[in-house]
Structure 1
């Protein structure tokens, strides 16, 4: 049984996953074991108040039977302390911090979706424990598949490409909307540009039944997606259990994908709040915050600037010595120029030092063939075929094939499209394009594959963006946004249009505050804080329509699923189920 296999899998206490062998098209590859620093981090990091509340909720919901049986006695007075969660529940991943956040989401779903009706039938917890064991089996298999995915290409190239397509279709539909009389025509134009079977037809109040038909198509899409995932993740014996399979399928298709991903996550105000919280996680620079009070006037001369001359004494001196004012202005200009030169020289020195030190960084590995999008895969396969017939230099021969440089990924063009650089600052957009081309194909190919700049960017991205330590905080932010107060009920009333506008303005204000003062004053071409915020809020209107956001979110879901389960890109659910059943015979 899956339960016995899972219990045998869980060690006491739980270490990280050991090195495993996985089957790949090229043969059997051993997964490197994770470093012990993550386990030491889980054991030595103090648990904050939020984690204690979350752990208590998980124990109360999923470990009610073990609350009194599985305890340890602390001290001579017989104080009772509950056992850790990693000793009461099966491991979900190789990180205790991630497991805590995932178990909080599972506990919310079990409490409101299973225990709400199952406790009326019986007080037995075996069924709930079996569901937890099946979910743990699936999450461990999912983590093993996640290690085979090239997250670098997924995050920096494929996801920005989908976002760029969404913005391009949005602006095109908005430009064509001027010829339409009905506001709903905007949705139809967008759906024509980016059709999706789950979102067809576009809801139209003038066509009765169009909304219900679209919801039915969306429900069928969710069921097919979840059925295919469960067919590849569930253990063989659980595939033959229809009750368990239907229950897990309904939980993920209707509750997670339906109410969570396809519901709240597609609302514009949810995306704006998520961006605001994400900027808060990254951290705002206190020295770059917009000042809410007027700036006091600058002192008239250097004596007054350093407090050596009072205002009463400064007036007659300044009125009598106009030459000193000229000298002070010249001195201030001189020191400002010297300060700027010092900053520029320090920045150049830091860049050169970083590029020289980047040569000692490890080279980037070769990604899988399926990690590319279709358009980029065709382009680069043609480029690879052409490059085979061309003479190669020593640097080109040392570079691994099919590894795209980071400067050549879609992240940069997507950022330029979101910021509307072609419209705001066309000269700067052209300068950036020329600089990127020079770094990729110019002398030395500094930005080419495994060049100095390429290794440096890869190191920064993996240490700050793709850092596994950020994952628990991101999951917590996602959980608190969708399920506040540990409940699936109507914990929050959807905001009114005025409240949604305030949320968008707060997100715009967070974006403006995250930009350096020197950059934002030139990017927005104004010093007015209100105009900056309104201008940034206009850029966020690309996520205003929930129906349009579903096209973007569903495309992201399909991308992630096909990267984790490449079998679903080649075969349907019926074929996958037939193959699994044939393996059991």
Structure 2
């Protein structure tokens, strides 16, 4: 057997840890270590085979079988399956095998857990194809964030002097009621804290049981032991530990914002380093290269310099105008070939109403729709809540009301003005939708996102040691670094116009914007609301029926 026999084949064959290196010719070591990079493909395959494939007939084989032939497929993409199986392997190794291996060496139960998860992921993928991701990520989730920001600022705005101030958490909870987070925990009342934790745990169990009742086949639903273990893994380790726990901590959210801003800054820096001036000359940033002025009078040199600067300025404006004209022509020409955002059986018979009081457009067949009724299946991109959410986050209506009004006027003109270029399926609408699909909702980005998430949550393919919660001064320092990272993405001139002069003032202003994530209890409302919204879009049954009704319907 050669080394090529071990590592050849598809991606599933490149994990060589199942064959002892002592059998190789000239081997000097008794063990073979995985790649130094814990998230590399080699190390990932080593982890999956050692945890999930050790009892699946791999012994005695001269060449290991590919992973996709041993384990059931999770999705239609092998790259996504690889990253998901890495998550499953870590969770089963750290949280299931630690106690199950003490009971019995049998691995059948682990296989059953993997099969249950595979059933869920395949069913979710099929449902995901029918979800309007544009509306979910750019309209509904931003609307949820906008409500959170407004409720947080209202709750933390002092209306009365200090002796008569109300608890901000109670005000927030009254504005955004969430039964699972009742009652509002008080530090001086241990019973309220304990009762709120119990209600939250029951909510997570009910949510997971409802998801499993929709996705799993009947024979798996009848296995009470399997349902209990899988439900515990999803409700406590994923929902409770990750989303309701770590992801709700303010300092962790600020750190995530800082890393994201630094990553964007790095990409922008790399892109700027590759740009070259259109004239190919080296400049000092103020104009063409300086030249020797010895022997010339100061006045004649200033005149010549002014003429030269004017010439280059005119040339730059001409170049910019030609570039913009070329972009507009190419954009308009290419928009005719972009796919329509309206379903084939639907058509727009009128303009989209802008008033909030008007009844929203309904999904109606074009043959029976009244004249003038909008039958568009999707919201125009320009009317989605991501724009108003950004304005609320930046407090635009307070800082620059004239700019907010001007943007609203431009938005209205694009959607309802001549040509309705921003209306559903208009030229601008299709261009924005195409840019979102190509640059943000690109499925090829999912494996990289899962790999990055695994590296952050499980460094070295194992749960990170419990991190000590930063002290109050350390959390303030984390928030300040986040504010500085955000400001680094904004040009200095725009900073000065929007926030005013003074670097310290600008940092304080951005820190004030980041304070919307300052309360972990309020953050839980946002996190659980987002999870519930996503699940109800994937599984509308959860919004229509209770968990007991779903289980009774499936098991009967």
> For this structure pair, what is the TM-score category when the shorter chain's length is used for normalisation?
0.7 to 0.9
Measured after TM superposition, the shift of residue 513 of structure 1 is 3.0
Match of 2:257 in 1: 275
User: Which one of the candidate residues 428, 432, 440 is aligned to 1:465?
Assistant: 440
The answer on whether the counterparts of 1:284 and 1:514 sit within 8 Å (CA) in structure 2 is: no
CA deviations on 1:450-490 (whole Å, 9 max, x unpaired) are 11001100100001111111112222333333333323353
Which whole-Å CA distance do the structure 1 matches of 2:168 and 2:162 have between them?
Answer: 8
Is the alpha carbon distance of 1:495 and 1:365 closer, same or farther for their aligned partners in structure 2, counting shifts above 3 Å? farther
The answer on whether the counterparts of 2:499 and 2:509 sit within 8 Å (CA) in structure 1 is: yes
Match of 2:312 in 1: 335
Structure-to-structure mapping, 1:20-419, within 5 angstroms: 50-66=40-56, 69=59, 72-73=62-63, 82-176=64-158, 179-181=161-163, 185-279=167-261, 284-286=267-269, 306=289, 308-309=291-292, 320-329=297-306, 331-332=308-309, 335-336=312-313, 338-340=315-317, 342-366=319-343, 379-381=359-361, 389-391=370-372, 401-419=376-394
Measured after TM superposition, the shift of residue 329 of structure 1 is 4.2
Which whole-Å CA distance do the structure 2 matches of 1:224 and 1:571 have between them?
Answer: 12
- Secondary structure of the corresponding residue to residue 254 of structure 1: helix
Unaligned runs of 5+ in 2: 1-8, 13-36, 274-282, 347-354
Is the alpha carbon distance of 1:352 and 1:518 closer, same or farther for their aligned partners in structure 2, counting shifts above 3 Å? farther
Matched, 1:540 2:514: yes
Which whole-Å CA distance do the structure 1 matches of 2:369 and 2:167 have between them?
Answer: 49
The answer on whether the counterparts of 1:405 and 1:454 sit within 8 Å (CA) in structure 2 is: yes
What is the aligned residue count? Answer: 504
Measured after TM superposition, the shift of residue 414 of structure 1 is 0.7
Which whole-Å CA distance do the structure 1 matches of 2:101 and 2:523 have between them?
Answer: 38
The answer on whether the counterparts of 1:93 and 1:99 sit within 8 Å (CA) in structure 2 is: yes
Measured after TM superposition, the shift of residue 268 of structure 1 is 1.6
Measured after TM superposition, the shift of residue 325 of structure 1 is 2.5
Unaligned runs of 5+ in 1: 1-11, 16-46, 74-81, 291-297, 370-374
The answer on whether the counterparts of 1:61 and 1:111 sit within 8 Å (CA) in structure 2 is: yes
Which whole-Å CA distance do the structure 1 matches of 2:133 and 2:370 have between them?
Answer: 31
The answer on whether the counterparts of 1:177 and 1:185 sit within 8 Å (CA) in structure 2 is: no
- Secondary structure of the corresponding residue to residue 69 of structure 1: coil
Which whole-Å CA distance do the structure 2 matches of 1:122 and 1:331 have between them?
Answer: 85
Match of 2:524 in 1: 550
Which whole-Å CA distance do the structure 1 matches of 2:52 and 2:344 have between them?
Answer: 40
User: Which one of the candidate residues 550, 553, 571 is aligned to 2:545?
Assistant: 571
CA deviations on 1:416-450 (whole Å, 9 max, x unpaired) are 11122212222221111100100000000011111
The answer on whether the counterparts of 1:158 and 1:410 sit within 8 Å (CA) in structure 2 is: yes
The answer on whether the counterparts of 1:198 and 1:217 sit within 8 Å (CA) in structure 2 is: yes
Is the alpha carbon distance of 1:300 and 1:84 closer, same or farther for their aligned partners in structure 2, counting shifts above 3 Å? closer
Measured after TM superposition, the shift of residue 522 of structure 1 is 3.7
Which whole-Å CA distance do the structure 2 matches of 1:172 and 1:474 have between them?
Answer: 35
Q: Give the TM-score, by structure 2 length.
A: 0.81
Cα RMSD, aligned residues only: 3.5
- Secondary structure of the corresponding residue to residue 379 of structure 1: coil
The answer on whether the counterparts of 1:264 and 1:482 sit within 8 Å (CA) in structure 2 is: no
Which whole-Å CA distance do the structure 2 matches of 1:504 and 1:71 have between them?
Answer: 55
Measured after TM superposition, the shift of residue 497 of structure 1 is 2.8
Measured after TM superposition, the shift of residue 61 of structure 1 is 1.9
| Bigger fraction of residues in helix | 1
Q: Give the TM-score, by structure 1 length.
A: 0.78
Which whole-Å CA distance do the structure 1 matches of 2:295 and 2:270 have between them?
Answer: 35
Matched, 1:504 2:479: yes
Which whole-Å CA distance do the structure 2 matches of 1:259 and 1:558 have between them?
Answer: 17
CA deviations on 1:305-328 (whole Å, 9 max, x unpaired) are 73643xxxx6x768x523423542
Which whole-Å CA distance do the structure 1 matches of 2:463 and 2:38 have between them?
Answer: 24
Is the alpha carbon distance of 1:301 and 1:127 closer, same or farther for their aligned partners in structure 2, counting shifts above 3 Å? closer
CA deviations on 1:370-401 (whole Å, 9 max, x unpaired) are xxxxx98983147989x955558xxx8xxx53
Which whole-Å CA distance do the structure 2 matches of 1:67 and 1:332 have between them?
Answer: 77
Is the alpha carbon distance of 1:512 and 1:352 closer, same or farther for their aligned partners in structure 2, counting shifts above 3 Å? farther
The answer on whether the counterparts of 2:363 and 2:376 sit within 8 Å (CA) in structure 1 is: no
- Secondary structure of the corresponding residue to residue 65 of structure 1: coil
Which whole-Å CA distance do the structure 1 matches of 2:125 and 2:529 have between them?
Answer: 21
Measured after TM superposition, the shift of residue 555 of structure 1 is 0.6
Is the alpha carbon distance of 1:128 and 1:458 closer, same or farther for their aligned partners in structure 2, counting shifts above 3 Å? same
The answer on whether the counterparts of 1:356 and 1:452 sit within 8 Å (CA) in structure 2 is: no
Measured after TM superposition, the shift of residue 217 of structure 1 is 0.8
CA deviations on 1:144-183 (whole Å, 9 max, x unpaired) are 1111111111111100000000011111112246545488
Is the alpha carbon distance of 1:177 and 1:415 closer, same or farther for their aligned partners in structure 2, counting shifts above 3 Å? same
The answer on whether the counterparts of 1:14 and 1:86 sit within 8 Å (CA) in structure 2 is: no
Measured after TM superposition, the shift of residue 577 of structure 1 is 0.8
Measured after TM superposition, the shift of residue 185 of structure 1 is 1.1
Which whole-Å CA distance do the structure 1 matches of 2:150 and 2:466 have between them?
Answer: 35
